[in-house]
A and B are shown apart, each in its own frame.
Chain A
């Protein structure tokens, strides 16, 4: 780690000012940032502690949804009555991530900002990583890529986003509220994370100096008819090989709208648009599960070691969708 200046602002304005320093980072729980600083991947010179800005509340919104402050701990978000009762899908996703200790530290805003666990990115002993060192190449393309992307990758980067929470947020059509030097913005979750393209060093559409203040969940009727399924190499405390979040609005026996999102398959939490659209208007008793699941991975392109992810993702979608449809 480099020598640090640490500041603990008491309001958002002061935090934004402090963050204008060179190589300044906001720090929430620090579970990912400090790890990467120890590894020499992140080189912060100023840390702006955003744990004292009053961003630790969860409250109902006027339109029947819920606003989760960016500083809320993953544990608290997972266990809040409003989330457990109305958005159990999101509770499930939070609880599928990390360990109890880490969930007690990690914030919602930090979870959105966490970086890929691609070995070539997190270990500076590797020379070629376009995300860590733009223009240096991508060692994963021809290297150890069994955990890497099957959707939306580029020839510059095949890393995946590690978040469970974000996959559920995509299925729930959340909005990320941010505040920056130029004012507030409200970013739909599907536009918050980006695909690698020619600039894999940029994970999100946040602008320099912008701070995530909260995440809004719209009112949902997809409370019971929702499911989060995470497939991993051990039963706890591991990142997803593939995960699936399904949220269905089923007012009667007909699906009004559906959102299927996948984790562990792309540089961002992946909205399976065609699969989701294929469910609209379907009767609960008239779903071709295999066909919908096939649509979710129709555009998948495997690397040398991760071809297994295509049938895995397909089967996971089928299973999660069935559980969501059949939930009472």
Chain B
């Protein structure tokens, strides 16, 4: 356990580093310094067994040594400072933590970092290429597909992977016949496929429009 003074010190470092960011307690690890280098070998403060894991995030290889309880979400936010990945419910219900792992969108809050050895991970920070918004990001801007923006990184990762799923002809509960035919990018398909991403501002109509636009460009 951390003592109160230690926690306060870390909290100050954290608040100083990410002004205005949501403060979320990790799982007992101190918050790392800014991740200029790609190897993180600090020893956890408690007698918890540390576990090594290597994965690639947004094109950069990382080697982390973490408490095995660390979720992928906490590793991305607290260790790698990728705070675009948002912690909403932390229980797999809101989708704010959605990232793309090996081509698939997942809830990073319900999986452990150590389970992703060798994985290729894309967060919202990795969607834009060379500073240019991705087609999906551009479509979200064009359609005003957000208000407060907290759910948007998850929405964007989810929507980006959704289009790949359509291209792979994967079915959904909105697909009229799972046995035959191509899956069409209808509004009903978009709504069903985006049901794992909640937006408290209720920007859903514009999110659907943005995805439709981005999908029709591909």
A interface list, Cβ under 8 A from B: 1, 3-6, 8, 27, 29-31, 34-35, 38, 47, 49, 51, 75, 78-79, 84-85, 88, 91-92, 95-96, 98-102, 104-105, 223, 235-237
Contacts and interface: CB of A to CB of B under 8 A. Distances in A.
Interface in B149-182: 158, 161-162, 165, 168, 170-173, 175, 177-179
A102 B69 contact: no
B107 A102 contact: yes
Contacts of B46: 3
Interface stretch (B55-63, B124-132, B192-200): B192-200
Nearest to A164: B173
Interface residues of B, number: 44
Given A5-B49, A5-B68, A99 B196 contact: yes
Given A5-B68, A223-B179, 7 more contacts: A4-B67, A5-B49, A31-B110, A35-B92, A85-B179, A92-B178, A98-B196
Interface of B: 27, 46-49, 51, 67-69, 71, 90-92, 95, 98, 104-107, 110-112, 114-115, 117, 158, 161-162, 165, 168, 170-173, 175, 177-179, 191-193, 195-197
B110 A6 contact: no
Most interface-central of B46, B91, B92 (chain A CB within 10 A): B92
B51 A105 contact: no
B196 A95 contact: no
Contact of B95 (A79, A85, A99, A105): A99
Contacts of B179: 84-85, 88, 91, 223
Given A1-B27, A101-B158, A49 B115 contact: yes
Contacts of B111: 29-31, 34, 105
Nearest to B51: A6
